């Protein structure tokens, strides 16, 4: 690789610092590793990255009823959950083996999932940056379900070089955003594949729906694909248990096909109810409202 092809020095330094932390963390037993990286994100990464300020701003918008002490708790707890999730992803088989052994799938949508699998019907899994997204993928893959996912490559190319192999080890196929990834993704879906699609981030091109009773631009793609390809569509989320280490992977009730805006509003409403029950597990760092 020539000097011109290398990622910028700042990206390489950031990636190197992250890998140093993860390499040191891997010297610890699994449970201590997850807790330690969670603490680092909650008390070091969060403040340095400016996450606490953004979490606070979002909470003031969406949950003006919260007390100052509750907001201070979430300023640490939200990055800590993100840190635990990162440590789990980079733990590879240790993480997926625990998911497989616990078989954490539950919820009213399970019979519909099995019926879709038996019929070879495509499935759209509406997912969010909640709990640990990859616990959901690992749990479905452990049962032999054909779960794929669309992902956005990291802006930091140096980080992306180790991040993509890490998430690929949990379940495949993965489809990068872009023309080539889109073509392969649609071919997979048409063939009866199950596709996990996020819907909880701001998209300036999307229509305005409601989330926490606030105007929230929400992508319609999951609903549109479900209607176009007669795919089952339902929400699936990996909910972290109180021990901070294990999960419930909740399969929600299927969303009835109809007008895509109404379908996505139903998913927004479902996610809001979940987030209100587990405020520390949604990634309040995103600029969801602009």
Residue 90 lies in a domain: yes
Token pair belonging to 237:
């989320």
For residues 250, 251, 257 and 262, what is the CA-based torsion angle, rounded to 10 degrees? 0
Residue 286 lies in a domain: no
Residue 169 lies in a domain: yes
| DSSP three-state, residue 59 | helix
pTM of the model: 0.92
Of all residues in the chain, what percent carry a pLDDT higher than 90? 81
pLDDT for 4 equals: 56
Residue 55 lies in a domain: yes
For 194-216, the pLDDT digits (tens) are: 999 999 999 999 999 999 999 99
Residue 34 has pLDDT above 60, yes or no: yes
- Report, as an integer, the average pLDDT of 9-34: 90
For 233-242, the pLDDT digits (tens) are: 999 999 999 9
73-77-78 Cα angle (round to 5): 120
Residue 287 lies in a domain: no
pLDDT for 1 equals: 45
Residue 202 lies in a domain: yes
Q: DSSP letters along 85-114, please?
A: HHHHHTTTHHHHHHHHHH--EESTTHHHHH
Q: Which domain holds residue 227?
A: 3-281
Position 3 confidence tier, pLDDT thresholds 50, 70, 90: low
The total domain count for the chain is 1
Residue 72 has pLDDT above 60, yes or no: yes
For 156-196, the pLDDT digits (tens) are: 888 888 888 898 899 889 998 888 888 999 999 999 999 99
Closest by alpha carbon to 78, among 131, 134, 17, 136?
Answer: 131
Residue 290 lies in a domain: no
DSSP state of 185: H
Residue 2 has pLDDT above 70, yes or no: no
Residue 289 has pLDDT above 80, yes or no: yes
Residue 243 lies in a domain: yes
pLDDT for 180 equals: 81
């Amino acid at each position: 690789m020539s000097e011109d092809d290398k990622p910028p020095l700042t990206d390489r330094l950031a990636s190197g610092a992250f890998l140093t932390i993860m390499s040191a963390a891997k010297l610890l037993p699994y449970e201590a590793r997850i807790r330690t990286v969670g603490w680092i994100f909650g008390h070091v990464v969060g403040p340095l990255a400016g996450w606490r300020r953004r979490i606070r701003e979002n909470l003031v918008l969406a949950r003006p009823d919260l007390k100052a002490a509750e907001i201070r708790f979430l300023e640490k707890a939200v990055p800590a959950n993100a840190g635990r999730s990162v440590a789990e992803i980079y733990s590879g088989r240790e993480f997926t083996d625990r998911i497989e052994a616990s078989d954490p799938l539950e919820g009213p949508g399970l019979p519909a999932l099995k019926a879709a699998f038996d019929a070879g019907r495509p499935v759209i899994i509406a997912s969010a940056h909640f709990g640990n997204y990859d616990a959901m993928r690992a749990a479905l893959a452990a049962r032999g379900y054909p779960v794929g996912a669309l992902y956005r490559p990291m802006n930091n190319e140096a980080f992306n070089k180790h991040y993509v192999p890490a998430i690929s080890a949990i379940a495949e196929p993965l489809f990068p955003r872009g023309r080539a990834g889109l073509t392969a993704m649609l071919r997979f879906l048409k063939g009866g594949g199950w596709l996990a699609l996020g819907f909880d981030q701001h998209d300036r091109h999307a229509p305005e729906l409601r989330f926490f009773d606030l105007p929230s631009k929400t992508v319609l793609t999951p609903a549109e694909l479900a209607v176009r390809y007669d795919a089952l569509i339902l929400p699936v989320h990996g909910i972290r248990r109180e021990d901070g280490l294990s999960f419930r992977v909740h399969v929600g009730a299927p969303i009835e096909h109809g007008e895509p805006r109404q379908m996505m509003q139903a998913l927004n409403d479902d996610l809001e109810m979940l987030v209100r029950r587990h405020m520390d597990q949604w990634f309040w760092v995103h600029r969801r409202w602009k």
